[in-house]
Amino acid sequence: MQKFLEKSDSRKIEVINFLEESYLQQASIATISKNLKISEFILVRTVDELIEDIEKHQLSSYFIISKTDKLILLKKSGAASINLLLWIYLKQSLSFELLDEIFKGTFETINYYSEKNFVSYTKIYKRLMEIKKILNEHDIRLSSKFKLAGDEIKIRMFFYQFYVPVFNQIEFPFADELKAVSQDLIVNLEKIEQKSFSEATKTKLSFFIGVMFNRIGTDCYLFNASKIKDKELPREQYHEAIYPTIIEFVKTYTGIEQQNFLIAEANFIFAFLIGETIITEQLSEKKAIKKIPFQSEKRDYHLFSIFLMEELSSYLAKEIPDQLKEQFLQQLDFIHFKVFYFERINTEFTKNMNVEYIKENYWDAYHFSIEFLEKVSKEKSYQNIALNKEFLFYQYLFIIINIFPPAFFMKPIKICVDFSLGVNYNKMILTNLQTFSYLNIEVSDTLTSETDLLISDYYFNEKLVNCEYLVWNMPPTASDWANVGEALMRIKKNKETEGIANG
């Protein structure tokens, strides 16, 4: 997203992102300068401008940035994310304004825009060439009359994924009446599904409808997309009222009468609802969407899900239990359906996620996801997978972590809890140790030869203890909990190292 910002604003976002991810949300001027590859002079000037922007836009209740001779510090209230600043900077960006007008069909000529906005012709032309390059990377062309051309699905999904990450629930970037239109569909779907959608779900669906209706408003229909007719949908597995409701919705608000156009647009909405898991399957898990063939590539999305599951089983050298297979395949089917149908899920407009925590705590899931995607991306039959490596990487991580318990991946870490205050105090500590849910922990009050960690309130002669041990205060302090966290990670890493050496 930062490629659409003015250079100075992009630098501000880089600085505040760096501070946000730094220990205690502070860093030395020298460290930031080195990591962001900018001079200390420019860095200090950027920070001063950032402080001014926060005051100007009345964001001091969310962010406070301060500096000393050597340090820059960030303080956040937790009531807003950096996205709020990104949204402000994006809206005042020339590149964004140009792309926004091109999408909405309001950009006419460079001369007209130049005179209307008091911007030089050369500057506008240069930005348009940059935009054209970005669009080309996504197989979207910009004609000499500044009209978008190419596969209609790709155009719509590009702009949907462009607007959602930044505008989200801050602002609806389309005409107000389109929000009311989308709300009508949301209300009807909620009635059918007999549940209320989350705010995030409502926002996604509203933006999706906003993009779709903007394109239809410029006479750009999906029937003209080359592949739309070949994309099958598992309609029979969802409530029978959903598809007719979508058909009626499209017909009412677009005025489309021709059946082929109507069906194509309705299918597009239906596919989005499936891909985002907004609607719920009505059949049993054993008759899930895996049974419906999808031939947008040489192999359908369910066969690919089975392939991934077999690869995971081989990677871990263990069979996946039957009760987990169904859950795992069902979740994989949803994300693979989404990728195979929409072909490209852009992640470049979203902030890169820091995966160090996941890498540390879910080593197997992290490395399997990387290695699997690297392997299949080299095969020509999986072009969609190669295009969506980043999106799939995160999705695989989340699914594996959510479906499989820690015991499936790692050897147990055996902890002995033995405090002088007795059994009830031991139980209290045991309960709190369960917060390390990402670890395969077994807790007892008996010290054995298999114990990995002993936690107590009294000192042990090291000759009597053949494992790591920690002496805690009663009740434990923050440093006591920090020490146990570090000890558990050491033990976990040692067990992983032993497993690699023996494997």
State which of 229, 253, 275 marks the end of a domain. Answer: 275
Q: What is the pTM of this model?
A: 0.81
What would the two tokens of residue 116 be? 């209307």
Report helix, strand and coil shares of the chain as percent, to nearest 5: 60, 10, 30
Decide if 280 is inside a domain.
no
Same structural domain, 401 and 414: no
Q: Tell whether 254 and 196 lie within a shared domain.
A: yes
- What is the identity of the amino acid at 448? T
The residue among 82, 101, 117 that closes a domain is: 82
Query: Is-contact 433 414, C-beta < 8 A?
Result: no
Mean pLDDT of the 165-176 span: 91
Assigned token pair, 96: 């964004």
Domain interval for residue 351:
285-407
Quick: pLDDT tens for 138-155.
999 999 999 999 989 999
HEC letters along 230-249: HCCCCHHHECCCHHHHHHHH
- Report, as an integer, the average pLDDT of 179-208: 95
> Who contacts 307 (Cβ-Cβ below 8 Å, separation ≥6)?
299
Give CA–CA dist 333/312, Å, rounded: 15
**246 and 224 fall within a common domain:** yes
- Predicted confidence (pLDDT) at residue 404 exceeds the cutoff of 80: yes
Distances (CA, A) of 124 to 53, 90, 129, 436: 25, 16, 9, 54
Look-up: residue for tokens 């050491």?
Answer: 490
pLDDT of 238: 79
Which of 10-24, 344-358, 359-373, 414-428 is the least confident region? 344-358
* β pairing state of 63-67 and 441-444: unpaired
pLDDT at 461: 66
403 with 414, same domain: the answer is no
Among 27, 53, 82, where does a domain finish? 82
Do 186 and 236 share a domain, yes or no? yes
Same domain as 214, residue 107: yes
3-state secondary structure of 128: helix
Task: Identify whether residues 205 and 100 lie together within a single domain.
Answer: yes
Same domain for 258 and 351, yes or no, is no
The rounded percent of the chain whose pLDDT value lies above 90 is 49
- 95-104, 158-167, 451-460, 463-472: least confident range: 463-472
> What is the structure's pLDDT at 295?
36
Task: Note the pLDDT of residue 463.
Answer: 56
Whether 415 and 403 share a structural domain? no
* pLDDT reported for residue 287: 43
pLDDT of residue 124: 95
Average pLDDT over all residues of the chain: 86
Same domain, 289 and 183: no
Residue 230 lies in a domain: yes
At 232 the pLDDT is 65
Q: Which residues of 371-388 are buried (b: 16+ CB within 10 A; e: fewer)?
A: ebbeebeeeeebebbebb
List, in sequence order, the alpha helices (H) in 383-503: 383-387, 389-403, 406-409, 423-433, 478-502
Q: Which residues pair with 414 in a beta bridge?
A: 442
Is residue 492 over pLDDT 90? no
Kindly state the DSSP code that residue 26 receives in the 8-state scheme: E
Distance CA 242, CA 174 (A): 25
Between 184 and 463, the more confident residue is 184
pLDDT tops 80 at residue 282 = no
pLDDT higher than threshold 80 for residue 27: yes
Tens digit of pLDDT for each residue in 336-386? Answer: 988 888 888 877 656 666 777 777 778 888 889 999 999 998 888 888 888
pLDDT of residue 346: 75
Is the model's pLDDT at 8 over the cut of 60? yes
Q: State how many domains the chain has.
A: 4
> Residue 296: its pLDDT value, please?
37
Q: Answer positive or negative: Cα dihedral of 122, 124, 130, 135.
A: negative
Same domain, 401 and 415: no
What is the rounded average pLDDT of the residues 12-39? 93
Q: What is the mean pLDDT of residues 298-325?
A: 85
Locate 44 and state its tokens: 């200090």
**pLDDT, tens only, 70-115:** 999 999 988 888 889 999 999 999 999 999 999 999 999 999 999 9
441-444: strand order across its sheet = 441-444, 413-418, 453-456, 468-471
User: In terms of domains, do 167 and 218 share one?
Assistant: yes
Q: According to the model, what pLDDT value does residue 283 have?
A: 53
The SS3 of residue 441 is strand
Residue 421 lies in a domain: yes
Q: Comparing 8-12, 160-164, 180-184, 254-258, which segment has the lowest mean pLDDT? A: 254-258
Is residue 289 a part of any domain in this protein?
A: yes
Query: Is 501's pLDDT higher than 70?
Result: no
Pairing of strands 413-418, 441-444: parallel
How does 188-200 read in b/e, with b if 16+ C-beta sit within 10 Å?
bbeeebeeebeee
Residue 59 sits in a domain of what CATH number? 1.10.10.10
Position 135 confidence tier, pLDDT thresholds 50, 70, 90: very high
